[in-house]
Amino acid sequence: MMKLNLLLMISVAGSLLAAVNGIEYINPIWPHDNPDPTVWRGGDFWYAASTSQRILKSRNLVHWEDTERILLEPAEYDWIKQSWPHVWAPDVIKIGDWYNLYMTVHNGGAHTAIIAYRSKNPDGPFTDRNIILRSEEEGRFEVIDAEVVKDIHSDRTWLFFGHGDVRRLELTPDGRFRKPGAKIEHVAGIVLGEPKPMKGDERFGAGSTEAPYLYFRDGWWYLFVSMGNWQNHTYRVVVGRSKTLDGKFVDRSGRPLGKGYGTVILQSEKGDEFFGPGHNGEIFTSITGRTYVFYHCHWTGCKAREQQTTVWGKPGYVPRPLFLQEIFWDEGGWPYFGNNGKPQKNCIFR
């Protein structure tokens, strides 16, 4: 259901979107399995993709259609699956004249990698493969869930990534290669092997942090990460912030994300229809100053056929469709969600 006047003008990610009267919508906005979303602008359209690999298209960020295309050519998927059976969590960002795609490939925690591709067109085909990181060459941590961000104050480009804990690495300005001499740094979550939190400790346990996303607002870089078990209601979105991309991120109480802390802003409870919200994608701002964020969330109401056609193909798997929800900001500049910090079904984009 939508009101008569829709979005009249749309600009790039993170900038202004003009809307008149708004659009009423019901979550999930894409009611099919769509985990680990990324959303980007190209020409007159917005595009979205996920671990499902299909490319969606929209004129207003609310109503989406399937382009019936996938991110990579079939021959490239064939090449990937010679070494990595799973292809996950794409991230697309435009740098210069190129749309850069970063893909996670996975064959067990000790055999993961992030591969960069690019295209002059927003909807591909994405080609020109370059493997940026391999877990076999880096250590115990998993090289997954790429988030590439361009510093608005310089020409520096950063890759944030990880499962278990989140790390960062500086790339070349074009985002295609590791910057010569750049070192991987720990940013969020407890590193595997460190002591577990004691009872009553507000830190999240080792191995539970992933899916970084960076957003700049009013002089702060906000780092959103997902913590918990992705398969159940313990999965949630937490946030910290830093003045610089290479700085220390802290939560609302000033505690470091690098020690396992984080301010929880989106979560669920056991038994909820929508549970385990996380792996948020991009944040967009309307002309009225409202901000909206994409994320995935398990939905028990998803059609049974989805459980058979999901990319996982596991019996009992509850699909994770695409959600869009307004995110608010308090006087101290900290983000929070309405609906008591839980996924919201009935929404309006304005």
Q: Dihedral (C-alpha) 291, 296, 302, 303: value to the nearest 10 degrees?
A: 120
Residue 344 has pLDDT above 90, yes or no: yes
Looking at the domain assignment, is residue 235 inside a domain? yes
Looking at the domain assignment, is residue 155 inside a domain? yes
How is residue 234 written in tokens?
């313990």
Looking at the domain assignment, is residue 2 inside a domain? no
What pTM was computed for the model? 0.91
Alpha helices in 69-223 (DSSP H): 74-80, 135-138
How is residue 65 written in tokens?
């259609």
Looking at the domain assignment, is residue 1 inside a domain? no
Residue 9 has pLDDT above 60, yes or no: no
Q: What is the DSSP letter of 30?
A: B
CATH number of the domain encompassing residue 36 = 2.115.10.20
Looking at the domain assignment, is residue 322 inside a domain? yes
Assess contact for 33 and 321: CB atoms under 8 A.
yes
Looking at the domain assignment, is residue 134 inside a domain? yes
Range of the domain at 301: 7-349
Instruction: Give the pLDDT confidence of 263-299 residue by residue, as tens digits.
Output: 999 999 999 999 999 999 999 988 788 999 999 999 9
Looking at the domain assignment, is residue 132 inside a domain? yes
By C-alpha distance, which of 231, 159, 166 is closest to 192? Answer: 166
How is residue 74 written in tokens?
């079939």
Looking at the domain assignment, is residue 70 inside a domain? yes
- Number of structural domains, the chain? 1
- 96-104: which pairs have CB atoms within 8 A and are 24 or more residues apart? 96/174, 98/174, 99/40, 99/42, 99/124, 99/126, 100/148, 100/174, 100/175, 100/176, 101/71, 101/126, 102/132, 102/146, 102/148, 102/159, 103/71, 103/72, 103/146, 104/143, 104/144, 104/145, 104/146
Q: What percent of the chain has pLDDT over 90?
A: 75
Instruction: Give the pLDDT confidence of 89-143 residue by residue, as tens digits.
Output: 999 999 999 999 999 999 977 799 999 999 999 999 999 999 999 998 887 678 9
